[in-house]
Amino acid sequence: MAVTVSSERDTVASPVQRAFREALYAGAISLGLFVLFIGLKTDQNISNQLILVTRWWLLITVVVLTMLGRFFYIAYGQPFMANQKIANVATGLLPASVASRFFLLPAFIVAIVLAAILFVFGGALPGLVGDGLAGYLQFLRALAVIYALACVIFYFRAYIHDNFTKLGITALVLYPVLVVGVLSLMSWSFVGGLQGSLKWIDNFGIQILIYVMLAWGLNIVVGLAGLLDLGYVAFYAVGAYAYALLGSHYGLSFWILLPAAGAMAAFWGVMLGFPVLRLRGDYLAIVTLAFGEIIRLVLINWREVTNGSAGISGIPKVTFFGLMTFNSTDPNYIGKVLHIAQSSAYYKIFLYYLILALALLTAFVTIRLRRMPVGRAWEALREDEIACRSLGINTTTTKLTAFATGAMFGGFAGAFFSARQGFVSPESFVFLESAIILAIVVLGGMGSLVGIAVAAMVMIGGTEALRELDFLKQVFGKDFTPELYRMLLFGMAMVIVMLWKPRGFVGSREPTAFLKERRAVSSSFTKEGHG
């Protein structure tokens, strides 16, 4: 049988040709995805009639930017990264890393000087250059600060890696002090610095730490025990409503209701654990999702107790262990007792340190439990439930303890959230909250406390930072609201991180039990992160 061989040689597309083709594909996909989200917008006219507003230029801008990004990545980004792995024939050395060429000392000095100048004249920028240009200069100041911090992290990366926990805790403790100090220098007034710090301490400090604590609590269930829980927000709601109801109706102190809220959430964690003892994987996720929705619907429909969708208001504030209060009308107000100026920032600073202490308590308990037999039983259950049973481990109590412990910390966070807000309603405990908390755990590396904290800081802090990008209104119009696109950017960030680090920010794992020396196991051999 004769075999015919074609004389035509297969042509290999060049990077630019392939980039052009990929850019067209990316543009078509982005057009299909964003035409309803960005190109069309519903609004109301003067007669309160629903109308459709078209934003084709904004849609075209997004599509073009997507195509350009894909084109440059395929044409220049991928070849550059491939060349970084090729050693020089003469010297046998690899090329200098991108970081070493990007984080240069002269650029670092310029960034420091630029940030200092813009900080000093920050309050006078709108009057000097106008509101439009002032927004761009403020954004430039933020970029300079970010670049300077990145340079510091790069230059001292070895020291930071060896002392990451100590440096992290120190930075968290000093954060309010640094914020007040910087803002006081900018406004040339300590009182102005206190008032200006409210937003930064509340939105970027307290808010992030709440999600860190929630994610660390869910990490016990998902990361350590391997039980996929999509209804974790239910325990968050139980703790919040426990404090709101008992504190409003019976006037009990926060310090009494905090452990009570945790105990009540742990009880419901055990109640959830019993029906799912025989379930795994997708079936477990469906049941936990239903449990979260049941709790939310109970809060909406049990109006006699929860006040339904209207929620509960007038929730009492936290006091300083009963010694001082944060209400300016009380005789033992903190300003009167300590003879300091009256300010609402004292309460936010106190709440920041309170949630920081609760988050550190969660981390400490998680680390200690992981080194105990119950923690090793969780990890055995996560790796293989059948092998876990064959070793004589009681999987029933192991699952119940995981659900109860994780739910307890969710209840603590809920009680704190209720005290911080002063108002709770079922709208704060929808499924989206569970999805965000689970996404933080997965992106940070399941089982990794450090990775989860970094993921929460990036995701929650990044979405909160969108509220500060007012300069974008100069580009896209005064009606443009950047915070409305936070979930879109959140999803894009998840896709990028999953492509770049599929096992999360921290993919290696240090075993809790070792023979002679503790060594981190590569992410190629593990399913979870390390604690």
Return the ∠ at Cα 327 (arms to 324 and 330), rounded to 5°. 70
Q: What are phi and psi of 294, to 5 degrees?
A: -60, -45
Say what the pLDDT of residue 2 is. Answer: 46
Q: 375: helix, coil or strand?
A: helix
Residue where the block lists tokens 């010297």: 91
The one-letter amino acid code at 95 reads P
CA distance readout (Å), 502 to 383, 405, 506: 19, 28, 10
Say what the pLDDT of residue 410 is. Answer: 92
CA distance 54 to 39: 6
> 418-454 burial by CB neighbour count: b if 16+ within 10 A, else e?
bbbeeebbbebbeeebbebbbbbbbbbbbbbbbbbbb
Say what the pLDDT of residue 103 is. Answer: 81
End-to-end CA gap in the chain: 64
Query: Structure pTM?
Result: 0.81
- What distance separates the 2 farthest-apart alpha carbons in the chain? 105
On whether the CB atoms of residues 149 and 157 are closer than 8 A, the answer is no
Say what the pLDDT of residue 209 is. Answer: 92
On whether the CB atoms of residues 409 and 262 are closer than 8 A, the answer is yes
Mean pLDDT, consecutive 10-residue stretches, the chain (531 aa), reads 45 78 91 85 80 86 91 86 71 67 83 82 68 72 84 84 84 86 73 74 88 92 84 90 88 86 90 78 83 89 85 84 75 75 80 92 90 84 81 83 90 91 87 87 82 86 74 65 71 74 62 59 49 41
Q: What are phi and psi of 427, to 5 degrees?
A: -65, -20
Q: 42: helix, coil or strand?
A: strand
Q: What is the DSSP string of 424-453?
A: E-GGGG-HHHHHHHHHHHHHH-TT-HHHHH
CA distance 169 to 367: 16
